[in-house]
Structure 1
Amino acid sequence: MLALTAAGRTAFRQLDRGAAEQWSTLLADLPDADQRRLLGAMRAVEEVLDGGPPRDAGAEVVLRDPRSGDYGWIVARHGELYAQEHGWGLGFEALVARVVADFAAGADQRFGRAWIAEVAGAPAGCVLSVDGDEPGDAKLRLLLVEPWARGLGVGGRLIDAVVAHARARGARRVVLWTNDPLVEARRLYERRGFALIAQERHADWGVPLTGQVLALELEV
Protein backbone atom coordinates (compact mmCIF):
# COMPACT_ATOMS: atom_id res chain seq x y z
CA MET A 1 0.00 0.00 0.00
CA LEU A 2 1.30 3.43 -0.91
CA ALA A 3 0.09 6.67 0.66
CA LEU A 4 1.18 10.29 0.80
CA THR A 5 2.83 11.56 3.92
CA ALA A 6 1.59 14.73 5.58
CA ALA A 7 4.29 16.66 3.72
CA GLY A 8 3.24 14.96 0.51
CA ARG A 9 -0.40 15.91 0.98
CA THR A 10 0.63 19.52 1.58
CA ALA A 11 2.74 19.51 -1.58
CA PHE A 12 -0.10 17.92 -3.57
CA ARG A 13 -2.59 20.58 -2.43
CA GLN A 14 -0.18 23.30 -3.50
CA LEU A 15 0.37 21.72 -6.91
CA ASP A 16 -3.34 21.10 -7.42
CA ARG A 17 -4.24 24.66 -6.42
CA GLY A 18 -1.54 26.04 -8.72
CA ALA A 19 -2.84 23.96 -11.65
CA ALA A 20 -6.41 25.16 -11.04
CA GLU A 21 -5.24 28.76 -10.94
CA GLN A 22 -3.29 28.31 -14.20
CA TRP A 23 -6.33 26.86 -15.97
CA SER A 24 -8.57 29.61 -14.58
CA THR A 25 -6.19 32.23 -15.95
CA LEU A 26 -5.97 30.47 -19.30
CA LEU A 27 -9.76 30.19 -19.70
CA ALA A 28 -10.75 33.55 -18.26
CA ASP A 29 -10.43 35.46 -21.52
CA LEU A 30 -12.10 32.81 -23.72
CA PRO A 31 -15.54 33.81 -25.06
CA ASP A 32 -18.48 31.66 -23.98
CA ALA A 33 -18.76 30.07 -27.42
CA ASP A 34 -15.12 28.99 -27.35
CA GLN A 35 -15.52 27.58 -23.85
CA ARG A 36 -18.47 25.50 -25.06
CA ARG A 37 -16.41 24.27 -28.01
CA LEU A 38 -13.58 23.31 -25.66
CA LEU A 39 -15.95 21.41 -23.38
CA GLY A 40 -17.43 19.59 -26.36
CA ALA A 41 -13.99 18.61 -27.61
CA MET A 42 -12.93 17.37 -24.15
CA ARG A 43 -16.14 15.37 -23.91
CA ALA A 44 -15.45 13.80 -27.30
CA VAL A 45 -11.92 12.83 -26.21
CA GLU A 46 -13.28 11.15 -23.06
CA GLU A 47 -15.94 9.25 -25.02
CA VAL A 48 -13.49 8.02 -27.65
CA LEU A 49 -10.98 6.81 -25.04
CA ASP A 50 -13.73 5.19 -22.96
CA GLY A 51 -14.96 3.34 -26.03
CA GLY A 52 -18.57 3.85 -25.03
CA PRO A 53 -21.56 5.75 -26.46
CA PRO A 54 -21.86 9.52 -25.92
CA ARG A 55 -22.83 10.28 -22.35
CA ASP A 56 -25.24 12.90 -23.74
CA ALA A 57 -27.40 10.24 -25.39
CA GLY A 58 -30.43 11.61 -23.57
CA ALA A 59 -29.51 15.27 -23.93
CA GLU A 60 -31.79 17.64 -25.79
CA VAL A 61 -30.82 18.84 -29.26
CA VAL A 62 -31.27 22.61 -29.45
CA LEU A 63 -31.26 24.55 -32.74
CA ARG A 64 -30.31 28.22 -32.68
CA ASP A 65 -29.31 31.03 -35.02
CA PRO A 66 -25.57 31.59 -35.60
CA ARG A 67 -23.61 33.86 -33.30
CA SER A 68 -20.26 35.58 -33.70
CA GLY A 69 -17.60 32.98 -34.41
CA ASP A 70 -20.00 30.36 -35.76
CA TYR A 71 -19.28 31.03 -39.44
CA GLY A 72 -15.60 30.40 -38.82
CA TRP A 73 -16.48 27.25 -36.88
CA ILE A 74 -18.56 25.95 -39.80
CA VAL A 75 -15.65 26.38 -42.21
CA ALA A 76 -13.05 24.96 -39.83
CA ARG A 77 -15.04 21.88 -38.82
CA HIS A 78 -15.95 21.03 -42.41
CA GLY A 79 -12.31 21.30 -43.43
CA GLU A 80 -11.03 19.23 -40.51
CA LEU A 81 -13.68 16.50 -40.48
CA TYR A 82 -13.83 15.86 -44.21
CA ALA A 83 -10.04 15.75 -44.42
CA GLN A 84 -9.89 13.25 -41.55
CA GLU A 85 -12.81 11.07 -42.62
CA HIS A 86 -12.68 11.23 -46.44
CA GLY A 87 -9.30 12.70 -47.41
CA TRP A 88 -10.81 15.75 -49.11
CA GLY A 89 -8.21 18.46 -49.56
CA LEU A 90 -8.01 22.19 -49.04
CA GLY A 91 -10.13 22.76 -52.14
CA PHE A 92 -13.16 21.48 -50.24
CA GLU A 93 -12.51 23.80 -47.31
CA ALA A 94 -12.14 26.68 -49.78
CA LEU A 95 -15.53 25.76 -51.29
CA VAL A 96 -17.13 25.79 -47.83
CA ALA A 97 -15.57 29.18 -47.13
CA ARG A 98 -17.07 30.58 -50.36
CA VAL A 99 -20.50 29.16 -49.55
CA VAL A 100 -20.42 30.69 -46.06
CA ALA A 101 -19.17 34.03 -47.38
CA ASP A 102 -21.90 34.13 -50.04
CA PHE A 103 -24.49 33.26 -47.42
CA ALA A 104 -23.30 35.98 -45.07
CA ALA A 105 -23.46 38.54 -47.89
CA GLY A 106 -26.89 37.43 -49.18
CA ALA A 107 -29.16 38.81 -46.48
CA ASP A 108 -31.99 39.41 -48.97
CA GLN A 109 -32.34 35.77 -50.01
CA ARG A 110 -35.89 34.47 -49.89
CA PHE A 111 -34.92 31.14 -48.34
CA GLY A 112 -31.74 32.20 -46.54
CA ARG A 113 -31.28 30.98 -42.97
CA ALA A 114 -28.70 29.10 -40.90
CA TRP A 115 -28.93 26.84 -37.84
CA ILE A 116 -26.38 25.71 -35.28
CA ALA A 117 -27.28 22.56 -33.32
CA GLU A 118 -26.14 22.30 -29.72
CA VAL A 119 -26.13 19.35 -27.34
CA ALA A 120 -25.39 20.06 -23.67
CA GLY A 121 -24.23 23.53 -24.67
CA ALA A 122 -21.61 22.32 -27.18
CA PRO A 123 -21.82 22.91 -30.97
CA ALA A 124 -22.96 19.60 -32.46
CA GLY A 125 -23.82 20.44 -36.08
CA CYS A 126 -24.94 23.01 -38.61
CA VAL A 127 -26.83 23.55 -41.85
CA LEU A 128 -27.62 26.42 -44.22
CA SER A 129 -30.67 27.16 -46.36
CA VAL A 130 -30.11 29.36 -49.43
CA ASP A 131 -31.90 30.24 -52.63
CA GLY A 132 -31.61 27.52 -55.28
CA ASP A 133 -30.56 27.91 -58.89
CA GLU A 134 -34.13 27.57 -60.19
CA PRO A 135 -36.99 29.92 -59.26
CA GLY A 136 -38.87 28.63 -56.22
CA ASP A 137 -36.08 26.27 -55.13
CA ALA A 138 -34.57 26.31 -51.66
CA LYS A 139 -31.14 24.68 -51.39
CA LEU A 140 -29.85 22.81 -48.34
CA ARG A 141 -26.11 23.32 -47.85
CA LEU A 142 -23.29 22.36 -45.48
CA LEU A 143 -25.05 19.83 -43.29
CA LEU A 144 -22.56 18.66 -40.66
CA VAL A 145 -22.84 16.62 -37.46
CA GLU A 146 -19.93 16.28 -35.05
CA PRO A 147 -18.76 12.65 -34.65
CA TRP A 148 -19.53 12.63 -30.92
CA ALA A 149 -23.12 13.76 -31.62
CA ARG A 150 -23.98 11.23 -34.32
CA GLY A 151 -26.87 8.99 -33.38
CA LEU A 152 -28.53 11.70 -31.27
CA GLY A 153 -30.91 12.88 -34.02
CA VAL A 154 -28.95 16.05 -34.81
CA GLY A 155 -28.83 15.54 -38.58
CA GLY A 156 -32.54 14.83 -38.84
CA ARG A 157 -33.44 17.88 -36.79
CA LEU A 158 -31.32 20.11 -39.04
CA ILE A 159 -32.77 18.70 -42.26
CA ASP A 160 -36.31 19.04 -40.91
CA ALA A 161 -35.61 22.67 -40.00
CA VAL A 162 -34.59 23.47 -43.58
CA VAL A 163 -37.63 21.71 -45.04
CA ALA A 164 -40.06 23.41 -42.64
CA HIS A 165 -38.48 26.81 -43.37
CA ALA A 166 -38.67 26.26 -47.13
CA ARG A 167 -42.30 25.14 -46.94
CA ALA A 168 -43.24 28.16 -44.77
CA ARG A 169 -41.63 30.45 -47.36
CA GLY A 170 -43.55 28.86 -50.21
CA ALA A 171 -40.75 26.89 -51.89
CA ARG A 172 -41.75 24.42 -54.58
CA ARG A 173 -38.93 22.03 -53.64
CA VAL A 174 -35.74 21.65 -51.60
CA VAL A 175 -32.61 20.58 -53.48
CA LEU A 176 -29.13 19.65 -52.29
CA TRP A 177 -25.79 18.45 -53.61
CA THR A 178 -23.95 15.62 -51.88
CA ASN A 179 -21.31 13.03 -52.73
CA ASP A 180 -21.43 9.24 -52.81
CA PRO A 181 -19.29 8.49 -49.70
CA LEU A 182 -21.76 10.34 -47.46
CA VAL A 183 -24.01 7.30 -47.09
CA GLU A 184 -25.49 8.09 -43.68
CA ALA A 185 -26.47 11.61 -44.70
CA ARG A 186 -28.07 10.30 -47.87
CA ARG A 187 -30.15 7.87 -45.83
CA LEU A 188 -31.43 10.75 -43.73
CA TYR A 189 -32.43 12.60 -46.88
CA GLU A 190 -34.10 9.58 -48.46
CA ARG A 191 -36.13 8.84 -45.33
CA ARG A 192 -37.62 12.32 -45.71
CA GLY A 193 -38.56 11.80 -49.35
CA PHE A 194 -35.55 13.25 -51.17
CA ALA A 195 -34.90 11.53 -54.49
CA LEU A 196 -31.84 11.43 -56.75
CA ILE A 197 -32.34 13.60 -59.86
CA ALA A 198 -28.78 13.86 -61.25
CA GLN A 199 -25.23 12.67 -60.64
CA GLU A 200 -21.81 13.27 -62.14
CA ARG A 201 -18.25 12.08 -61.54
CA HIS A 202 -15.65 14.60 -60.39
CA ALA A 203 -12.31 14.84 -58.54
CA ASP A 204 -12.44 18.45 -57.38
CA TRP A 205 -10.69 17.77 -54.06
CA GLY A 206 -8.11 15.23 -55.13
CA VAL A 207 -10.35 12.17 -54.64
CA PRO A 208 -12.57 10.48 -57.30
CA LEU A 209 -16.19 11.10 -56.30
CA THR A 210 -19.71 10.99 -57.67
CA GLY A 211 -21.59 14.20 -56.99
CA GLN A 212 -25.32 13.66 -56.50
CA VAL A 213 -28.22 16.09 -56.69
CA LEU A 214 -31.27 15.20 -54.59
CA ALA A 215 -34.62 16.99 -54.47
CA LEU A 216 -37.72 16.98 -52.30
CA GLU A 217 -40.95 18.15 -53.91
CA LEU A 218 -43.07 20.22 -51.53
CA GLU A 219 -46.84 20.47 -51.45
CA VAL A 220 -47.56 24.20 -51.53
Structure 2
Amino acid sequence: MFRLYHSNDLDVLKELLVHEIRQNPAGLFEQETLLVQSQGMAHWLRLQLADGLGIAAQLDFPLPSAYVWRVFNTLKPDLPERSHFDKQAMAWKLMRLLPQLKNQPACEALAHYLEDDRHGLRCYELAHKIADVFDQYLVYRPDWLLSWEQGSDDAEGADVRLHPWQPVVWRALVDDSRRLGHSLDHRARLTLSLEEIVAAQGQRLRALPKRLFV
Protein backbone atom coordinates (compact mmCIF):
# COMPACT_ATOMS: atom_id res chain seq x y z
CA MET A 1 0.00 0.00 0.00
CA PHE A 2 1.22 3.48 -0.88
CA ARG A 3 0.13 6.48 1.18
CA LEU A 4 1.00 10.07 0.34
CA TYR A 5 0.52 12.94 2.78
CA HIS A 6 0.79 16.54 1.54
CA SER A 7 1.88 19.43 3.73
CA ASN A 8 4.40 22.26 3.63
CA ASP A 9 4.53 22.22 7.44
CA LEU A 10 7.18 19.86 8.78
CA ASP A 11 5.50 19.69 12.19
CA VAL A 12 2.27 18.47 10.61
CA LEU A 13 4.11 15.68 8.80
CA LYS A 14 5.96 14.80 11.99
CA GLU A 15 2.69 14.49 13.91
CA LEU A 16 1.28 12.24 11.19
CA LEU A 17 4.37 10.05 11.46
CA VAL A 18 4.08 9.82 15.24
CA HIS A 19 0.38 8.94 14.92
CA GLU A 20 1.06 6.21 12.35
CA ILE A 21 3.81 4.59 14.41
CA ARG A 22 1.75 4.80 17.60
CA GLN A 23 -1.35 3.30 15.98
CA ASN A 24 0.53 0.65 13.99
CA PRO A 25 3.76 -0.13 15.82
CA ALA A 26 6.35 -2.43 14.30
CA GLY A 27 7.08 -5.80 15.85
CA LEU A 28 9.24 -5.98 18.94
CA PHE A 29 12.35 -6.97 17.00
CA GLU A 30 11.61 -4.99 13.83
CA GLN A 31 13.19 -1.70 12.83
CA GLU A 32 11.33 1.26 11.43
CA THR A 33 13.09 2.59 8.33
CA LEU A 34 12.86 6.30 7.61
CA LEU A 35 14.61 7.78 4.57
CA VAL A 36 16.11 11.21 5.24
CA GLN A 37 18.00 13.70 3.10
CA SER A 38 20.64 14.46 5.74
CA GLN A 39 22.00 13.29 9.06
CA GLY A 40 20.80 16.55 10.57
CA MET A 41 17.23 15.64 9.65
CA ALA A 42 17.74 12.16 11.12
CA HIS A 43 18.88 13.68 14.43
CA TRP A 44 15.92 16.09 14.55
CA LEU A 45 13.43 13.38 13.67
CA ARG A 46 14.81 11.02 16.30
CA LEU A 47 14.33 13.70 18.97
CA GLN A 48 10.81 14.46 17.76
CA LEU A 49 9.82 10.80 17.77
CA ALA A 50 11.26 10.34 21.25
CA ASP A 51 9.20 13.31 22.41
CA GLY A 52 6.02 12.11 20.71
CA LEU A 53 6.29 8.40 21.51
CA GLY A 54 8.17 8.54 24.79
CA ILE A 55 11.02 6.52 23.31
CA ALA A 56 12.97 6.36 20.04
CA ALA A 57 14.41 2.88 19.54
CA GLN A 58 14.82 0.47 16.65
CA LEU A 59 14.92 3.34 14.15
CA ASP A 60 17.00 3.28 10.98
CA PHE A 61 17.66 6.53 9.08
CA PRO A 62 19.45 5.71 5.80
CA LEU A 63 20.09 8.28 3.11
CA PRO A 64 18.22 7.54 -0.15
CA SER A 65 21.33 6.50 -2.08
CA ALA A 66 22.41 4.13 0.70
CA TYR A 67 18.96 2.58 0.91
CA VAL A 68 18.71 2.10 -2.85
CA TRP A 69 22.05 0.27 -2.77
CA ARG A 70 20.75 -1.83 0.14
CA VAL A 71 17.78 -2.86 -2.01
CA PHE A 72 20.08 -3.82 -4.89
CA ASN A 73 22.32 -5.69 -2.46
CA THR A 74 19.32 -7.63 -1.18
CA LEU A 75 18.32 -8.59 -4.71
CA LYS A 76 21.90 -9.34 -5.79
CA PRO A 77 23.90 -10.62 -2.81
CA ASP A 78 27.05 -10.84 -4.95
CA LEU A 79 27.26 -7.04 -5.02
CA PRO A 80 29.81 -5.40 -2.71
CA GLU A 81 28.40 -4.09 0.55
CA ARG A 82 29.30 -0.59 -0.58
CA SER A 83 29.24 0.55 -4.19
CA HIS A 84 32.61 1.21 -5.80
CA PHE A 85 30.84 4.11 -7.50
CA ASP A 86 29.61 5.93 -4.45
CA LYS A 87 30.63 9.56 -4.14
CA GLN A 88 33.61 9.08 -1.85
CA ALA A 89 35.04 6.14 -3.79
CA MET A 90 34.78 8.07 -7.07
CA ALA A 91 36.37 11.18 -5.57
CA TRP A 92 39.50 9.33 -4.41
CA LYS A 93 39.88 7.56 -7.75
CA LEU A 94 39.45 10.85 -9.59
CA MET A 95 42.17 12.48 -7.52
CA ARG A 96 44.56 9.93 -8.99
CA LEU A 97 43.12 9.99 -12.52
CA LEU A 98 42.70 13.72 -13.19
CA PRO A 99 46.44 14.52 -13.46
CA GLN A 100 46.71 11.70 -16.02
CA LEU A 101 43.76 12.95 -18.07
CA LYS A 102 44.41 16.68 -18.14
CA ASN A 103 46.59 16.48 -21.27
CA GLN A 104 43.81 15.00 -23.38
CA PRO A 105 42.29 17.55 -25.82
CA ALA A 106 38.78 17.12 -24.39
CA CYS A 107 40.09 17.89 -20.89
CA GLU A 108 41.55 21.32 -21.66
CA ALA A 109 39.23 23.01 -19.15
CA LEU A 110 40.38 20.63 -16.42
CA ALA A 111 44.03 21.24 -17.28
CA HIS A 112 43.48 24.98 -17.02
CA TYR A 113 41.89 24.61 -13.59
CA LEU A 114 44.71 22.39 -12.35
CA GLU A 115 47.51 24.75 -13.41
CA ASP A 116 50.01 25.53 -10.63
CA ASP A 117 48.30 23.08 -8.29
CA ARG A 118 51.45 22.51 -6.28
CA HIS A 119 49.83 21.04 -3.18
CA GLY A 120 47.00 19.12 -4.86
CA LEU A 121 44.26 21.20 -3.25
CA ARG A 122 42.61 22.10 -6.56
CA CYS A 123 42.74 18.47 -7.65
CA TYR A 124 41.11 17.45 -4.38
CA GLU A 125 38.31 20.02 -4.79
CA LEU A 126 37.78 19.23 -8.47
CA ALA A 127 37.67 15.47 -7.86
CA HIS A 128 34.95 15.89 -5.26
CA LYS A 129 32.93 18.26 -7.47
CA ILE A 130 33.09 15.85 -10.41
CA ALA A 131 32.20 12.92 -8.14
CA ASP A 132 29.15 14.86 -7.00
CA VAL A 133 28.11 15.48 -10.63
CA PHE A 134 28.51 11.82 -11.54
CA ASP A 135 26.62 10.81 -8.39
CA GLN A 136 23.69 12.91 -9.62
CA TYR A 137 23.95 11.37 -13.08
CA LEU A 138 23.81 7.87 -11.59
CA VAL A 139 20.34 8.76 -10.30
CA TYR A 140 18.94 11.17 -12.87
CA ARG A 141 20.91 10.46 -16.08
CA PRO A 142 21.78 6.74 -16.03
CA ASP A 143 21.30 6.48 -19.80
CA TRP A 144 24.00 9.11 -20.38
CA LEU A 145 26.57 7.19 -18.35
CA LEU A 146 25.79 3.87 -20.02
CA SER A 147 26.01 5.51 -23.44
CA TRP A 148 29.39 7.04 -22.57
CA GLU A 149 30.65 3.68 -21.36
CA GLN A 150 29.82 2.23 -24.77
CA GLY A 151 31.93 4.91 -26.44
CA SER A 152 29.12 7.18 -27.62
CA ASP A 153 29.14 10.81 -26.49
CA ASP A 154 25.79 11.46 -28.19
CA ALA A 155 23.43 10.25 -25.49
CA GLU A 156 19.87 11.50 -25.97
CA GLY A 157 19.44 14.86 -24.25
CA ALA A 158 23.14 15.19 -23.42
CA ASP A 159 24.99 18.11 -24.99
CA VAL A 160 28.62 17.63 -24.01
CA ARG A 161 29.97 20.46 -26.15
CA LEU A 162 30.27 22.70 -23.09
CA HIS A 163 31.83 19.92 -21.01
CA PRO A 164 33.51 17.51 -23.44
CA TRP A 165 35.62 16.11 -20.61
CA GLN A 166 32.67 14.41 -18.91
CA PRO A 167 32.46 11.28 -21.13
CA VAL A 168 36.26 11.00 -21.15
CA VAL A 169 36.53 11.15 -17.37
CA TRP A 170 33.63 8.75 -16.84
CA ARG A 171 35.15 6.17 -19.18
CA ALA A 172 38.49 6.55 -17.41
CA LEU A 173 36.76 6.00 -14.08
CA VAL A 174 35.05 2.83 -15.31
CA ASP A 175 38.26 1.52 -16.90
CA ASP A 176 40.17 2.18 -13.69
CA SER A 177 37.57 0.30 -11.66
CA ARG A 178 37.80 -2.60 -14.10
CA ARG A 179 41.60 -2.72 -13.74
CA LEU A 180 41.23 -2.74 -9.96
CA GLY A 181 38.82 -5.66 -10.17
CA HIS A 182 35.94 -3.63 -8.74
CA SER A 183 32.34 -4.42 -9.54
CA LEU A 184 31.03 -2.36 -12.46
CA ASP A 185 27.43 -2.78 -11.31
CA HIS A 186 26.79 0.83 -10.42
CA ARG A 187 23.34 2.31 -9.75
CA ALA A 188 22.80 3.40 -13.36
CA ARG A 189 23.21 -0.12 -14.71
CA LEU A 190 21.23 -1.71 -11.90
CA THR A 191 18.39 0.82 -12.13
CA LEU A 192 17.83 0.21 -15.82
CA SER A 193 17.80 -3.57 -15.27
CA LEU A 194 15.76 -3.46 -12.05
CA GLU A 195 12.65 -5.01 -13.62
CA GLU A 196 14.64 -8.03 -14.80
CA ILE A 197 16.38 -8.37 -11.43
CA VAL A 198 13.07 -8.29 -9.53
CA ALA A 199 11.53 -10.83 -11.91
CA ALA A 200 14.43 -13.20 -11.27
CA GLN A 201 14.98 -12.56 -7.55
CA GLY A 202 11.67 -11.09 -6.37
CA GLN A 203 11.42 -13.47 -3.42
CA ARG A 204 14.40 -11.71 -1.85
CA LEU A 205 12.28 -8.57 -1.39
CA ARG A 206 10.81 -10.22 1.70
CA ALA A 207 14.06 -9.37 3.48
CA LEU A 208 13.35 -5.64 3.11
CA PRO A 209 11.39 -3.63 5.71
CA LYS A 210 7.64 -4.16 5.67
CA ARG A 211 7.10 -0.42 5.45
CA LEU A 212 9.17 2.59 4.58
CA PHE A 213 8.74 6.23 5.58
CA VAL A 214 10.15 8.86 3.21
Same fold (TM over 0.5): no
Structure in which a larger fraction of residues adopt helix: 2
Structure in which a larger fraction of residues adopt strand: 1
Shorter chain as normaliser: what TM range?
A: under 0.3
| Greater relative CO (CA pairs within 8 A, separation 6+) | 2
